[in-house]
């Protein structure tokens, strides 16, 4: 199946994803991944949402205070490292897909060339919302937001609600959110400091 059904689980996250997907009809699961529904909440936050939009993290903003505090501390700690960029911290929520004013421009950005008179973005949005409403938990289903990553192009860390739900299921609720932020912040440092090192090496070579 889509997630590697009968193959032995090689990680806690894979086992958790298999468990969460087990009650979903195979056709719905295939449609979910074929249409990149698991990417839509993140694409909305990166490319469509207002940059000044208030951010919250976890169901009902449960981890917002913890996440924003550790993010601020991480940036302060690395302020003298050459990686002093203003990194945005964004929360991805499946509930954003319930709002057609958010969903439709996101779909246009990703699938724009696929639409025509016989198949409109409005029809695609209706299909997607109908499918999500069939999922266990609807727009809160963790498959829609199980991810956390750093986007170098956007200069942003994104963490989905599904990722927090997985951490909670593993007994990592007290330390998991902080780990997520600092881990993704480290990816930013990889980009920033590798550029610094590269420039330093080039300058050194030019002096030889």
pLDDT band at 198 (very low <50, low <70, confident <90, very high): very low
Q: Locate 173 and state its tokens.
A: 């609720």
Residues in contact with 87: Cβ distance below 8 Å, sequence separation at least 6, in sequence order: 71, 75, 155, 156, 157, 185, 188
The pLDDT value recorded for residue 180 is 74
Give 95-115 pLDDT, tens digit per residue. 999 999 999 999 999 998 899
Residues in contact with 112: Cβ distance below 8 Å, sequence separation at least 6, in sequence order: 121
CA nearest neighbour of 70 among 184, 181, 153, 203: 181
Look at 182-186, 191-195, 197-201 and tell me which has the smallest mean pLDDT. 197-201
Whether the pLDDT of residue 138 is over 80: the answer is yes
The reported pTM is 0.80
Region of 154 on the Ramachandran plot (φ > 0 left; ψ -120 to 50 alpha; else beta)? alpha
Pair 35, 128: CB distance under 8 Å = yes
């Amino acid at each position: 199946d889509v997630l590697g059904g009968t193959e032995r689980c090689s990680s806690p996250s894979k086992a958790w994803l298999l468990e969460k997907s087990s009650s979903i009809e195979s056709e719905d699961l295939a449609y979910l991944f074929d249409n990149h529904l698991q990417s839509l909440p993140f694409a909305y936050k990166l490319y469509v949402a207002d940059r000044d939009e208030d951010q919250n993290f976890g169901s009902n903003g449960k981890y917002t205070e913890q996440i924003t505090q550790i993010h601020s501390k991480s940036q302060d700690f690395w302020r003298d490292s050459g990686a002093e960029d203003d990194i945005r911290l964004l929360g991805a929520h499946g509930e954003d897909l319930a709002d057609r004013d958010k969903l439709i421009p996101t779909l246009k950005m990703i699938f724009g060339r696929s639409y025509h008179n016989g198949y409109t973005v409005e029809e695609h949005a209706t299909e997607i919302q109908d499918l999500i409403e069939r999922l266990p938990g609807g727009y809160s289903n963790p498959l829609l937001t199980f991810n956390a990553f750093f986007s170098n192009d956007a200069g942003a860390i994104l963490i989905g609600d599904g990722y927090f739900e997985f951490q909670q299921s593993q007994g990592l609720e007290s330390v998991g959110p902080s780990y997520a932020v600092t881990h993704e912040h480290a990816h930013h440092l990889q980009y920033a400091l590798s550029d610094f090192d590269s420039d330093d090496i080039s300058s050194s070579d030019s002096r030889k």
